[in-house]
Structure 1
Amino acid sequence: MNYRRLGETGLMVSEIGFGAEWMPGDDQEMVSELVGFAMEKGVNIVDCWMADPAVRKALGTAGVCSHRDKWIVQGHFGATWQNGQYTRTREMDAVIPAWEELLSCFGGHIELGLIHFVDSLAEFDGIMAGPFIEYVRAEKGAGRIDHIGISTHNPEVALRAAETPDIEMIMFSINPAFDMLPASEELDDLFKEEYQPSLENMDPQRKRLYALCEENGVGITVMKPFAGGRLFSAEKSPFGVAMTPVQAVHYCLTRPAVASVLAGFRDIDECAGCLAYETADDTAKNYASILANAPQHAYFGNCIYCGHCQPCTAGIDIATVNKYSDLAQMQDEVPASVRDHYLALEVRAGDCTGCGACEANCPFGVPIAQRMAGTAALFGA
């Protein structure tokens, strides 16, 4: 495993990191097996934005705590679990207990404390002028975190953060598709433009972001490097050609200031597929031919199962419902196994009230209420 310095934090992080969002809270054996495998291969950074206490506990129990000196943990301020659902909030009466619970899962100390999911400049400015940042600073002062960071999908927010003294690192969504798209504070305006004709013409805001982070010593860790797996399918990718995990990882690691790609492993095979990057030759890493003639962007309006749409006022696990819907529509007929999994959900698409609260939280402009109606019709519930 190769290691890179994360900006000016002084931390040396593995090029391939562990984005643990796919980990369940009810299968400790599986989580422990995967954490052990990743650690054996040299992975030393793990992101835990997930708010579910069971998932957090499973990760800590899996070996992160028992080998605490071998792991650098990214924990998130503002990702909370309310009424059985993930809820992103800035309300301190919810932020504080969720953070304290997260700390307890990782031995009372977290290396990287991230301000969770900030995608508008107004929200960023509000956070940096109020009690939220004061609490985060106090946690750093008390030694419960070592460094302050932020997670965002918006390059304009990331640019503002890179020029803010408190912020030492940024978790940013990077992949070959997103990099050719314009920045916007309005989430519904993201990803509407056509791709630029070549890699050299990446969106100037993003190009400036990477250069500024490099210049200012602000390290970047990468989320969504595979766009929810869509880049691996010729049919689903906007490029019309399937990329490999090695190509996608190499793209991310060739951006200035990027230190680690936090891939979402679901099992050992997927983890090994990403770790293959460490022994791949230049031919295997080459992605230029795939990006040479990129067509119009295909991600706007498409769910990549990130979960930021939560909470649902009706209690629907939107990402899971969308996943089952997409799986069902890949076949001529709905597979019985997919139908059974969907029907086993306690709350299904048919329970959607169409209130639109979820759509305001979605970074990708997904018409969620419309999707719920279509899914209910597809499965009959």
Structure 2
Amino acid sequence: MEYRTLGNTGLSVSAIALGCEGFMGKTEEQVCSDMDFAIRKGINFIDIYSSNPDLRSNIGKALTNRRQQFIIQGHLCTTWENDQYLRTRDIEKTAASFEDQLVQLNTDYLDIGMIHYVDSKEDFHEIFNGPVIRLALRLKEEGKIRHIGLSSHNPTVARMAVESGLIEVLMFSINPCYDLQPPTENVDDLWADENYAHSLQNIDPERERLYELCEEKGVGIDVMKVYGGGDLLSEINSPFGKAMTPVQCIEYALTRPAVASIMVGCRSCDEMQAAIDWCTATKEEKDYTAVMTGMEKFTWKGHCMYCGHCAPCSVGIDIASVNKYYNLTIAQNEIPETVREHYKVLTHHASECIQCGQCETNCPFGVAIIEQMEKATEKFGY
């Protein structure tokens, strides 16, 4: 298993983590068996958005005597009514459900308290100017939440949350299909067939800027919907008309700036293993460009996707990393210190480019890499 630091939280999380969907409707014994498998494989991170009391209790029992080894991301603003999950902004229901969650999980704190499902600007302002954020801050002060997070599907709202300085973790939906779509307050738009019927080009700039902003601010991203609800794994259902593998989907998400972990909703140990296989996959197995190139309607031409196909550089420059660090500086007047330090410790720098052009021949997206190296040299000074 690979472990990554989740932003500035200091938490070391497994790159492959668990969504809670796969545990729903299972018995205590089944949940314990699945959790045993996950822990043996090195998984140490789980997201529990559902307020289902049986689900929470079964996970709590599965973590008995090993709570300290596991990082729990639980959600505020979910409650259980009429035997079903309900998103709420009612502060009394939110507070009561949070306390129930601690009891059900047999713990006295959550590593991350995630403000649940904020996709509209109106909802954002209600939360960040009202009792919900005050509750989250109080719970953090009391030690019942160690870090505050927010989940969203809308890059505009997510950016507002990051810029508030009040969240440390963002749970966001990332995959190559969603990345093509502009911001929307209606999450169903991300699945709508009509939104993929016309030609689409390159990552939406608001989404890309969000990932770069999180990297800049030290806000860690954990990813939901990495398979697009399963559509990307199906040639029939994928907007691309080509099926991706779990490993390719995971590799795409994990190469975005600030991303530390992927929450996968696995219904079986076999599905869990299909995600964990990313850890030992070859470069060829991780290569997502085979699906994303040569399409008529969808193109990423001229845009660095951090895929690494430009390698090997004849002088050893890690071109994908140079491009990533340079892109993190574009929207700013000065270079963030963290970005400067990351660039500094690279073994080779942009100024060492001899303009042989081998990388541009290798690049499947037609990126003007030599020009990018010149820009990076000018920006960083070497």
TM-score exceeds 0.5: yes
Q: Tell me the equivalent position of 1:82.
A: 81
**Contact (CA 8 Å) 1:25, 1:56: kept in 2 or not?**
no
**Contact (CA 8 Å) 2:199, 2:297: kept in 1 or not?**
no
> What letter matches 2:225 in structure 1?
K
Q: Tell me the equivalent position of 1:16.
A: 16
Distance 1:282 1:70 in 2: 30
Q: Tell me the equivalent position of 2:98.
A: 99
Distance 1:18 1:170 in 2: 16
User: Does 1:164 find its partner at 2:170?
Assistant: no
> What letter matches 1:112 in structure 2?
I
Task: Output one character per residue of 1:295-352: Cα deviation in whole Å (capped at 9) or x when no partner.
Answer: 769xxxxxxxxxxxxxxxxxxxxxxxxxxxxxxxxxxxxxxxxxxxxxxxxxxxxxxx
**Contact (CA 8 Å) 2:200, 2:297: kept in 1 or not?**
no
**Structure 1 residues 99 and 217, CA gap change in structure 2 (3 angstroms):** same
| 3-state DSSP of counterpart to 2:164 | coil
> What letter matches 2:108 in structure 1?
G
Task: Output one character per residue of 1:37-94: Cα deviation in whole Å (capped at 9) or x when no partner.
Answer: 11111101000001110011011111x2321111000000011101111110000121
> What letter matches 1:28 in structure 2?
E
Distance 1:177 1:278 in 2: 23
**Structure 1 residues 52 and 294, CA gap change in structure 2 (3 angstroms):** farther
Cα offset, 1:193, TM superposition: 3.9
> What letter matches 1:183 in structure 2?
P
**Contact (CA 8 Å) 1:180, 1:196: kept in 2 or not?**
no
| 3-state DSSP of counterpart to 2:230 | helix
| 3-state DSSP of counterpart to 2:150 | strand
> What letter matches 2:288 in structure 1?
Y
> What letter matches 2:157 in structure 1?
V
Q: Tell me the equivalent position of 1:353.
A: none
**Contact (CA 8 Å) 1:78, 1:90: kept in 2 or not?**
yes
**Contact (CA 8 Å) 1:179, 1:203: kept in 2 or not?**
yes
Percent of aligned pairs with the same amino acid: 44
Q: Tell me the equivalent position of 2:247.
A: 246
Q: Tell me the equivalent position of 1:69.
A: 68
Cα offset, 1:294, TM superposition: 5.2
Distance 2:186 2:68 in 1: 41
Distance 1:74 1:294 in 2: 38
Q: Tell me the equivalent position of 2:323.
A: none
Cα offset, 1:105, TM superposition: 2.5
Q: Tell me the equivalent position of 1:215.
A: 216
Q: Tell me the equivalent position of 1:284.
A: 285
**Contact (CA 8 Å) 1:232, 1:244: kept in 2 or not?**
yes
User: Does 1:177 find its partner at 2:177?
Assistant: yes
Cα offset, 1:165, TM superposition: 1.3
Q: Tell me the equivalent position of 2:276.
A: 275
> What letter matches 1:83 in structure 2?
N
Compute the TM-score of the two structures, normalised by the length of structure 1: 0.74
User: Does 1:140 find its partner at 2:167?
Assistant: no
| 3-state DSSP of counterpart to 1:215 | helix
**Contact (CA 8 Å) 2:147, 2:168: kept in 1 or not?**
yes
**Contact (CA 8 Å) 1:156, 1:185: kept in 2 or not?**
no
Gaps of 5+ in 2: 299-382
Q: Tell me the equivalent position of 2:344.
A: none
> What letter matches 2:287 in structure 1?
N
> What letter matches 1:6 in structure 2?
L
**Contact (CA 8 Å) 2:219, 2:258: kept in 1 or not?**
yes
Cα offset, 1:204, TM superposition: 0.5
Task: Output one character per residue of 1:154-184: Cα deviation in whole Å (capped at 9) or x when no partner.
Answer: 1111111111111111000111110111112
Cα offset, 1:243, TM superposition: 0.8
Bigger Rg over Cα: 2
**Contact (CA 8 Å) 1:25, 1:58: kept in 2 or not?**
no
Distance 2:86 2:297 in 1: 33
| 3-state DSSP of counterpart to 1:55 | helix
Distance 2:295 2:179 in 1: 12
| 3-state DSSP of counterpart to 1:99 | helix
**Structure 1 residues 284 and 293, CA gap change in structure 2 (3 angstroms):** same
Distance 2:31 2:297 in 1: 38
**Contact (CA 8 Å) 1:222, 1:262: kept in 2 or not?**
yes
Compute the TM-score of the two structures, normalised by the length of structure 2: 0.74
Distance 1:294 1:49 in 2: 36
Cα offset, 1:280, TM superposition: 0.4
**Contact (CA 8 Å) 1:239, 1:293: kept in 2 or not?**
no
The alignment yields a C-alpha RMSD, in angstroms, of 1.7
Q: Tell me the equivalent position of 1:263.
A: 264
Task: Output one character per residue of 1:244-283: Cα deviation in whole Å (capped at 9) or x when no partner.
Answer: 1100000000000000001111111000110000000100
Q: Tell me the equivalent position of 1:365.
A: none
Gaps of 5+ in 1: 298-381
> What letter matches 1:129 in structure 2?
N
| 3-state DSSP of counterpart to 1:69 | helix
Q: Tell me the equivalent position of 2:359.
A: none
